[in-house]
């Protein structure tokens, strides 16, 4: 894995091979960031954005955001080994001051009182996880998103999540067995 574009283009990103991890493929990551930057349907300025990276693993998505000019990233991950590797990635790129890491369950993070609001919210739960709807409801309740925001949800192509009662789907892309949904919260 590597950083695809921006300030750290070509730099390696450490990752951990585990049965529970599924690193975001470089081609999918590149497509996501191209859509954020170039789609008229997404009203977020990547260079001024704050990103919430839920189920962040070793931080591939958030690190790419930092490389492309995002202001700040909050990573949420419950696996200590993955967080240790994420910390190594932040140190290697000298961006630790632009990152906050929450070690624990996503639901615990979403239930705590938040002051910060995010422009880009990336959710990449394990494909077998059934917490997506609950997580989306917690995010909406906590109002931790700016008016101009985008939710980016990585799911298995065949997953049958009924998110349309909670969010307005903007764009859906399929890459192999992955489905990427771009959405906003309903007003």
Q: Domain residues of the chain, as ranges? A: 26-185
What pLDDT digit, counting tens, does each position of 18-74 carry?
666 667 888 899 999 999 999 999 999 999 999 999 999 999 999 999 999 999 999
Rounded CA-CA distance 118/26 in Å is 24
Residues 6+ apart with CB under 8 A from 24: 60, 61, 124, 154
Cα separation of the two ends of the chain: 37
pLDDT of residue 21: 60
Rounded CA-CA distance 78/36 in Å is 27
Residues 6+ apart with CB under 8 A from 37: 46, 68
- Predicted structure pTM score: 0.93
CATH number of the 26-185 domain: 3.40.50.150
């Amino acid at each position: 894995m590597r950083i695809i574009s921006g300030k750290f283009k070509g730099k390696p990103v450490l990752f951990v091979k585990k049965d529970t991890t599924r690193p975001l493929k470089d081609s999918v990551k590149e497509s996501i960031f191209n859509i954020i930057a170039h789609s008229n349907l997404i009203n977020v300025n990547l260079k001024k954005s704050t990103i919430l990276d839920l189920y962040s693993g070793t931080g591939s998505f958030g690190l790419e955001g930092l490389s492309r000019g995002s202001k700040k990233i909050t990573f949420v991950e419950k696996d200590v080994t993955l967080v240790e590797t994420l910390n190594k990635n932040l140190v290697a790129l000298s961006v630790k001051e632009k990152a906050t890491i929450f070690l624990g369950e996503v639901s615990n993070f979403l239930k705590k009182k938040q002051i910060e609001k995010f422009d880009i919210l990336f959710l990449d739960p394990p494909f077998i996880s059934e917490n997506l709807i609950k997580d989306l409801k917690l995010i909406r309740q906590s109002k931790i998103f700016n008016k101009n925001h985008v939710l980016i949800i990585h799911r298995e192509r065949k997953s049958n999540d009924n998110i349309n009662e909670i969010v307005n789907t903007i764009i859906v892309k399929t890459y192999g067995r992955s489905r990427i949904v771009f959405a906003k919260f309903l007003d």
